[in-house]
Amino acid sequence: MFITSTLPVVAAALALALPTTAAPQPLTGRAESDLSLQAQLRLAETTTERYDLIPNDEDFVFDFSTSDSPVATSQNWPALIAADARASFSIGQLEACSMAFLHLHPRATELFSLSAGRILSHMVPQAGVLDSEDMQRVISVELTPGKVTVYPAGSFHTQVNPDCEPANFTAAFNSEEFAAGIVAPQVFSLPDDVISRTFGQSIAGEEIEKVRDAIPKEIAIKVDECLAKCGKEKR
Ligand SMILES: *[C@@H]1O[C@H](CO)[C@@H](O)[C@H](O)[C@H]1NC(C)=O
């Protein structure tokens, strides 16, 4: 009795959710639309429509060997939006004797693993996560091939390749547009008085400007001791 009386309600709800006769009009073809493929995919009303917007099977493959970018995100791999993946991926190398600048991903937790080389990883979790001496906990681990570590969304982290060979990594992110915050330059983009107070007045005026100018612009900062050990030149 209960079942039969609710069936029409369920059917009506399904009909509303999956209209068959009054299907939404497909978006105009890509060639006729001013919108980017990504924008069209986001506006598409159904998954079916999204797949229609990516008719070539090859577009479901991202080839890092030919890509300029070491990251595959919704911006350069629209299939992620079509597939509703809510994830992105990176394959890259951290050069010998290099440290990735201290950064965070505002929207994504990262799973980071190595396929070649060695990396020393440091991660600072949220405030209030303390070590046995009640100091801010810093999770420092050594990674070698076959190991994976996790950087929670928003955690500060950095990786050091202390060896003379490049380290090959893969990283997965649970956002299709993970993005990054770069700690040092972003902190030092604040007004001088804010920086001065932040650092307990230990730095002021020209010194702030000096630090600002000294912050490396490149993603991979050279590790001088390692360069010396490996007989490499700083480029
Ligand atoms: C590391 O990556 C580079 C660039 O993709 C590749 O040429 C090299 O063979 C990789 N090294 C190892 C040991 O897998």
* Angle value at C-alpha 136, between 89 and 155, nearest 5 degrees: 15
Is the pLDDT at 114 greater than 70, yes or no? yes
Q: Note the pTM of the prediction, 2 decimals.
A: 0.81
Q: Quick: pLDDT tens for 46-75.
A: 999 999 999 999 999 999 999 999 999 999
Is the pLDDT at 235 greater than 70, yes or no? no
- 79 C-alpha to center of ligand 1: Å? 26
Rounded Cα distance between 102 and 157, Å, is 6
Burial of 77 (0-12, 13-18, 19+ CB in 10 A): buried
Question: Alpha carbon of 132 to those of 114, 126, 136, 138, 175: distances in Å?
Answer: 29, 16, 9, 11, 33
Q: Quick: pLDDT tens for 128-166.
A: 999 999 999 999 999 999 999 999 999 999 999 999 999
Residues with C-beta less than 6 Å from any ligand 1 atom: 93, 115-116, 168
- 121 C-alpha to center of ligand 1: Å? 20
In the chain, what are the domains? 89-230 (2.60.120.10)
The protein residue with its alpha carbon nearest to ligand 1, atom 14, reads 116
Q: Quick: pLDDT tens for 169-207.
A: 999 999 988 889 999 999 999 999 999 999 999 998 899
Question: Alpha carbon of 9 to those of 6, 20, 23: distances in Å?
Answer: 5, 17, 20
- 10 C-alpha to center of ligand 1: Å? 55
